[in-house]
Amino acid sequence: MKKTIWSKDIEDKIYKFVKDCYGCKSCMRNCVMLNDFCSSPKKLFEDFLEKGEINSIIPYSCNMCKQCTLVCPKKLKIDEIFMDMRKELVIENKGKSPIKGHKAVDIHQKLSYTNIFKGQFRKTRVAFMPGCSLSSYNPQIVEKTKDFLSQHIKDIGIILNCCGKPTEAIGKQEKFKEKYKILETDIKNVDEIITACSSCYSILLKHSKNIKVRSLWEVIPKIGIPEELKNVGKESEILFGIQDACTTRDSFNIHEGIRWILKELGYKFYEPIHTKENTMCCGMGGMVFPANKNIAQKVIKRRAMEFKSDYVVTYCASCRQAMELGDKKSLHILDLIFGKSFNCDIDFKQKQLTIIKSWVNRYKTKKACENYK
């Protein structure tokens, strides 16, 4: 789909970008998608201004990770231009993404907002929100985390709603507002939400400013890990690389919390070349995988190659899956907290989650949480 009539707002932003861009190509060093589509973003947008059109696959191939802005001398925000383009493409396409692969995102979102998978259990002032990806990955970890929190936080419940990030990411702003209202209805009496998901954390901070939002990775260092787990990994020979989520690249407390937890557990770890606020996308960002699988796979491979060991620990369930796709032995940090002690390759018997298995896991999470009513 090529759109030839764009809003003045987008054209003005692109004119300004072309005027301000030095053409230094610093952004090209770390961006897979730009290298696939152009010789430089300045040239890409100059062509846009000349022709008045752009192939819709281009804005939908951006991971929205902001690496380009980090290295840009002028701090230009290419991702914001691509996001505005996505919104207009959706409007042009009568409320739907023009990308066929995003039908899977629509199905995911439709199912996520049914009572089969969502719900608030024990209507309390404080609630734990694990997020869709973690519930899809491991129901037992979600339940153990909730039990652990309930030992330290008086009267805490659990919310299994989706935050709607996938809908927002593909540019369906009106549909996102509809879905977010469902979440707001379910959390209207909640004063504080503790999230395990980086996307939920960022979305709630942005759209529910009246609610206190804390990351689980800020909370655990304050209450401490279970005493019996301290130094559980001290004898392990495994060296973990840390994959920081790009969604929370500016969240210093989360970065420090993850490293505190690993130290308390006794596991050895190191920082890859791009880490913390300079982290690189795992390949799952921006809903690119269903739109342009080739780009997503290249991003995954590029990121995985930065790790000098075979082992990666993440605090985002989607990052964990991406690193596994990149042939890394990847674990979620909750695997280390509530799983067994990981010492050797035999402990890593991972299998990629099928779509059916992920939905079965989410249903198991829901059934387990019904006990908290």
Whichever domain contains 194, its CATH number is 3.40.50
Asked if 71 and 38 sit in the same domain, the reply is yes
Q: What is the pLDDT of residue 191?
A: 93
Domain count, the chain: 3
Pair 135, 37 in one domain:
no
Q: Answer yes or no: do 113 and 217 share one domain.
A: yes
205 shares its domain with 137: yes
Provide the edge-to-edge strand list for the sheet that holds 156-159. 120-121, 156-159, 126-129, 192-195, 212-215
Task: Examine residue 3 and state whether it is found in any structural domain, yes or no.
Answer: no
Range of the domain at 254: 229-350
The bridge status of strand 268-270 relative to strand 311-314 is unpaired
* Residues 209 and 280 both lie in one domain: no
121 and 139 fall within a common domain: yes
Q: What pLDDT score does 198 carry?
A: 96
Q: Answer whether residue 310 is part of any domain.
A: yes
- Examine the domain organization and report whether 63 and 115 are in the same domain: no
Residues 57 and 133 in one domain: no
Last residue of a domain, one of 76, 98, 120: 98
SS3 312: strand
pLDDT tens digit sequence for 21-50: 999 999 998 899 999 999 999 999 999 988
Question: What are phi and psi for residue 133, nearest 5 degrees?
Answer: -65, -40
Task: Give pLDDT, residue 215.
Answer: 98
Answer whether residue 5 shows pLDDT above 80.
Answer: no
Cα diameter, the chain: 65
Clarify whether residues 288 and 217 are in a common domain.
no
84 and 117 both lie in a single domain: no
Give the residue among 67, 38, 210, 187 at the shortest CA–CA distance from 121: 187
Q: Are residues 59 and 171 in the same domain?
A: no
Has this prediction a pTM greater than 0.85? Answer: yes
Q: What six digits make up the tokens of 71?
A: 């290295």
Domain check: are 233 and 344 in the same one?
yes
In tens, the pLDDT along 318-364 reads 999 999 999 999 999 999 998 777 877 656 666 677 889 999 999 99
